[in-house]
Every structure is written in structure tokens, then in C-alpha cells.
Amino acid sequence: MSEYLIKNGFVFDPTQKINGDVKDVAIQDGKIVDKVAKPKVIDAKGMTVMAGALDIHAHVAGPKVNIGRIFRPEDKLFNETPRKGMMRSEGGFSIPTTYRTGYAYARMGYTTVMEAAMPPLFARHVHEEIRDTPIIDEGAYPVFGNNWFVLEYLKNREIENTAAYIAWLLRVTRGFAVKLVNPGGTEAWGWGLNCLQVTDPVPYFDITPEEIIKGLIEANEYLGLPHSIHLHGNNLGNPGNYTTTLDTLKLAEGYKAKNNFGRDVVMHHTHIQFHSYGGTKWADFESKAKEVADYVNRQKNISIDVGFVTLDETTTMTADGPFEHHLTELNHLKWANADVELETAAGVVPYIYSPDIFVSGVQWAVGLEIALFSKDMMRCHLTTDHPNAGPFTRYPRVLKWLMSQKARDEQIKAFKASDKVVSQSQIAEIDRELTLFEVAQMTRAGPAKVLGLSHMYGGLKPGLDADVAVYDFNPEKEHKPDEIEKAFSHVKFLWKTGTPIITDGEIISHGNKRTLWVNPKVNENPQVMRDIHDKFLKFYTVTEKNYEVTGKHFIPNPFVIEVDATR
């Protein structure tokens, strides 16, 4: 029996409305429990105790992430750590190696991460990288928004067939949720085109982004999956795109979540910072964070993650193929593109968010404004769309900006075009400082609920997995901004499902890492099985039998979430 008692910490757990009370947390055999008999006692006096954090959207494993690693040797230059004891060597800043990815998340108190875009044909690759990422539990979202099956079924409004296909694909790819990236636009990119508005027709397929999004919401709720659809909308990154974003969010109106996982939202719109821009060109570029945040505040059945800009040199990567081409035309840096037959595409381009460039400054402001204008932090989650707006290793710096107006003011002063950043945004007028309770909502309870995993993660209720982080941070003391960043950069203690991972700041174990996937059961659907058989015969370049991910060498420690969607 492995038992631990974390004594006298300041505990923050929104799932139990615990807001900094001094309490003990007990762990027994991987779970949080009420009490323990003969525990190993850890004194957390004067420290902050929270559940392990969840990242609802990060690009950490798979083909495009590895393109980033492989085509950016300069990202590793003078940034490597040698093998030490049981720890493997680490390398890379914006696209770290799988080992550094696992270690770096653990050091920040993160215990669960979702890979945000898995091309189904490359599912094996995604799972191999997940396997080699130590400590953290991971799941991956297969992309559906440009998938030929989906486009053809939804053109005819065949929701049940769409659902049956989703069920099949989640199973054969060992996927976790339904991801959409630039719906329709990425298929258009197959011809070098794009869909910028939700009403733009998709070439040949005679369907619009709007129809794809609504259809997939309906199919997702038909199945009752743990997570809602996870949407990267059209027209990302362009001045004036906030109207497209509002058009997109409105598509969720009238839908109600149907599932047994305690999820209330039907649409999660990701990295909404990139979708909240005003202006007509870069010269009059401005923040429309308020307009977008206000809508999200009103509309209770949608959630968002932010995609904070961290002002670093980073590597952008997305299944939004046309956007990356657009970006390389802007910054003239190296461009990788990877179109995937029948399914999706991807692009990768290095990018420098420079404090000397006015647009970068406004993007930084937009991200923070979205969060600071949000009223329900359970529906507004902390991400950097790693590595697109910045590396996930900057989360502690983002927390510093969110928790300290002083920190924000210092950064605003540091901008070269400080005045213009201020005039094109509202960041300078905001005095809100997030509390640790709100931080716990943004990074723990909120994402766990939206992912449909609140029965496992996101809190310290007895019965939940014992993922516990202890930070050397005393909420009753005054803190300089940089002390906030320092404290959340490096947990003092971390448990993953009850296993001590970090003790006194040192990583001591690779833990018992799991791969999460969702296995929906649906009625027999001969037509969909026929369509699958037919497409593999005619259009895929691998056979149907060589498509499914099977075997321990891909997923040594699976955790399957069963969903019964039979009627």
C-alpha cells in the first residue's frame, strides 16, 4: 500500500469550492482518499497545493511536430541537457524532444496533455511519440473537418452515418475527440485555395464550413462523447477575422450537450486569441478580444482556450495548410507543408513574436484581454496553442501576466511601439488580477470538465486520480511578479496517479504514463463499412487492413473510455 499525506498546504480546488484553506490531502493506491493509516507525510506548510494541471490543446506529438524538430536544428543549438541518472537527454526550445516534453510539463505541475491534431493516417506516429513522452497521460484528437467521408455524409446531412464513421475512426486511430481545423479550407488547400468565411463553398464537395461544423456538433452529441467538438475556426490570424469567429461561435446556438460525462458545452473553440482581431490590414490591426469574450460569456454552451502569445521565437504548426503558406509569404522563413490523402494537411513555419513589432504586441494583449474579460474561468482555459503562440514552457510567465497588473505594465513599457499597442488594445486599462482559485479553474477543473474527464482529473475530491502538485508559493505573502513565474515554473512535489514523480524539485520517476482513447459503440452500419472498404480500395495508398493502430509497441499502457451510442 503506497500512502501519502500532504499536510498543511494552502489547497485550491474549484471542484470542492476550496479556496486556499489550509488542509491535508491524502493519497492511497493512486487515488485521492479521505484518510490514510500509515502514510509518508509531506509537509506543505506555506505552500500551494492543487490537482495536477491539464493542457487541453498542445501540439506535442506527431508528424508536424517532428517536422518542426527535424527542420529546426537551430532550435536545439546550445539548448541540450545530457542524460542524468534515470532521465534521458533533453533538447529543444520551441519543439522539445519527447523526453523534454514530459519532464517540462511535470516540472510545471501538469499531468495530462491533449495532442491537438492527429492526422488519422499518421496515428501510429502520434502514438509512438506519446509512448516516448514520459510521466504525463495523453490523448490525441483525430482531425475530421476536411475528411472526405465527413464532407460527403454531411453534404447529405447524414448525421448517423457521420457518427458511425467517427466511431470507427476513433477506434482504429485510438483517438480521443473530434477535431476540426479550418473546416473545408484545408481540403480547398489541396488545390491551393482556402475557405475564409463559414459560408464559402468547399471546391468540388459542394458543402460549406458552416454545414461541416453544425453536422459534426450533431454527430458528436449523437455519440455523446466525453469532449465536445474541438474547433479551430476559419480565417485564423487575419486582421478583421473576429466577425468570422462570431459567425462560427453562433453555430452552436440551440444545441444542448448530451453525454454521461458531466460536460455542458457543445463546442470548444481553441486558441481564440488568433481569431479575435480587428482592423482591415496590419497597419490598423487592433484587438477585438472584448467583443469575442462578451459573446462567450453570454453563450454558456461553448468554451475556449486562449493561445497566449509569449513574445518568443517559436515554431508555428497547424493543419491549417493555407495559413502556413500565407505566413511564409509574410516572413519568408522556411516552410514545410504536408497534405494528407482524403483527410487533412499541415504546415510548419518558424515565427518570431518580437516585442519590437507592433502586431506582436497587440497579439500579446489580445490573449491576455480574452482571459481578463472572461467571466467564467471554467470555460476559458490556459494554452499557448504550443508551439504556435509560444512554447508551453512559458505558462508560468503567462500566469505572471494574468496574476499581476504590474507585470503587464512592465511588459507594455518594454514594447518598442508601446503607445500603438496601447491605442490598438484595451490591455492597459484592465486592472483585474486572476486569483489562484481562478487559475485552478483555467488549468485544472475547467479543462477536466470540458474534456469530460472530471471523474478522473482536475480536482482533489476523494475518488479522483491522485495527480497532485505542490508549489513553493505562499498565497498569503506579497510577491514580486517574477516570483510568481519562478514558483509555477518548478513544482516542489508532484504525484501522478499516486506515484511520486518530483520530490524536492527533482524528477525521480517516469511514472505510469497512460494513453487515453475513446471507444464508442454504435449500431451495425453496413453502408459506412462499405464506404470505408470502397475508399481504401480506390483512393487510399495503404490497405484497410494496414490502417488500424494495434499492438503494445504503439500503446503500451492504454486507458480506454467506453461510450455506448447504440440505439
Partner 1 sequence: MQTVTLIPIAQPGLRLEVDNISPDKFAGKTAEQIAALHVYEGNTQHTMGKFFRVEGESGATAADTRIVIKGDATRLKYIGMRMTAGEILVENSTDMYTGAWMQGGKIHVKGNVDAFAATGMKGGELLIDGNAGNYLGAAYRGDWRGMQSGTIRVAGNVGSDMGYFMNGGTIIVGGNADVHVATHAEGNGKIIIKGSAKSKVGGQMVGGEIYIFGGVDVMMPTYVYRRDVDLEVDGTKAKFALFEGDTAERHPKRKGEVVYGKLYLKY
Partner 2 sequence: MTKTITDVICPFCGTLCDDIEVVVSDDGKKIVEVMNACAIGYEKFHHSQATDRATRPRMQQADGSYKEVSYDEAVEYTAQMFAKSKKTLMYGWSSTNCEAQSVGHEIAEICGSVVDNTATVCHGTTLIAVQDVGIPSCTLGEIKNRADRILFWGCNPAHAHPRHMSRYSIFPRGFFTGKGQHSRKVVVVDPRPTDTSKMADYYFQVEQGRDYELLQAFRAALKHEWLPDVVAGIPKERIYEGADMLKAGRFGIIFFGMGVTQTLSKNHNIDAAIMLTKDLNEYTKFNIMPMRGHYNVTGSGEVLGWQFGFPYAVDISRGFARYNPGDTTSNDLLMRGDVDSVFVIASDPGAHFPWTSVKKISELPSVAVDPHFTPTTEICKLHVPVAFVGIEVGGNAYRMDNVPIDTRKVVDPPEGMLTDEQFLEKVLHRVKELKGVH
Q: 334: how many CB neighbours lie within 10 A of its CB? A: 11
* Paired sense of beta strands 277-278 and 110-118, if any: unpaired
Residue 61 binding partner per list partner 1, partner 2, none, with a CB distance cut-off of 5 to 8 Å that depends on partner kind: partner 2
Q: 517: how many CB neighbours lie within 10 A of its CB? A: 24
Residue closer to partner 1 by CB (options 22, 357) is 357
Instruction: Determine phi and psi for 126, rounding to 5 degrees.
Output: -55, -45
Query: Residue from 338, 402, 470, 563 that binds partner 2 (CB under 8 A)?
Result: 338
Separation of alpha carbons 270 and 267, rounded Å: 9
User: How far, rounded to the nearest angstrom, does the alpha carbon of residue 531 sit from its chain's CA centroid?
Assistant: 32
Q: Give me the residue label for grid cell 500551494.
A: 48
Residue closer to partner 1 by CB (options 276, 315) is 315
Host H or E run for residue 26: strand 18-28
Query: Residue from 325, 420, 455, 486 that binds partner 2 (CB under 8 A)?
Result: 325
Separation of alpha carbons 35 and 3, rounded Å: 10
Query: Residue from 116, 181, 231, 349 that binds partner 2 (CB under 8 A)?
Result: 349
CB 121 within 8 Å of CB 340: yes
- Cis omega (within 30 of 0) for bond into 387: yes
Q: How far is the CB of 84 from partner 2 (least distance, A)?
A: 8
Query: Residue from 35, 45, 334, 521 that binds partner 2 (CB under 8 A)?
Result: 334
Residue 537 touching partner 1 (CB under 8 A) = no
Residue 176 binding partner per list partner 2, partner 1, none, with a CB distance cut-off of 5 to 8 Å that depends on partner kind: none
CB 110 within 8 Å of CB 457: no
Query: Residue from 21, 29, 80, 534 that binds partner 2 (CB under 8 A)?
Result: 80
Listed residue (78, 55, 75) closest to 65, CA to CA:
75
User: Phi-psi category of 380—alpha, beta or left, where left has phi over 0 and alpha has psi -120 to 50?
Assistant: beta
Residue 332 binding partner per list partner 2, partner 1, none, with a CB distance cut-off of 5 to 8 Å that depends on partner kind: partner 1
Longest dimension (CA), the chain: 67
The residue type of 169 is L
User: Phi-psi category of 546—alpha, beta or left, where left has phi over 0 and alpha has psi -120 to 50?
Assistant: alpha
Residue closer to partner 1 by CB (options 40, 334) is 334
Residue span binding partner 2 (CB under 8 A) among the ranges 267-275, 338-346, 385-393, 481-489: 338-346
Residue 83 touching partner 1 (CB under 8 A) = no
Residue 446 touching partner 2 (CB under 8 A) = no
Residues 318-377 that bind partner 1 (CB under 8 A): 332-334
Residues 18-77 that bind partner 2 (CB under 8 A): 61, 63, 65-66, 69-73, 75-76
Residues 199-238 that bind partner 2 (CB under 8 A): 204
Helical spans, DSSP H, in 424-566: 436-440, 446-450, 481-489, 526-538
Residue 74 touching partner 1 (CB under 8 A) = yes
From residue 560, how far is each of 41, 176, 349 by CA, in Å?
33, 9, 35
Residue 546 touching partner 2 (CB under 8 A) = yes
Residue 301 touching partner 2 (CB under 8 A) = no
Q: How many residues bind partner 2 (CB under 8 A)?
A: 66
Residue 35 touching partner 1 (CB under 8 A) = no
Q: Which residues bind partner 2 (CB under 8 A)?
A: 61, 63, 65-66, 69-73, 75-76, 80-83, 85-86, 88-92, 95, 97-99, 121-122, 124-125, 128-129, 132, 148, 189-192, 204, 325, 328, 333-342, 345, 348-349, 538-543, 545-546, 550-551, 553-554
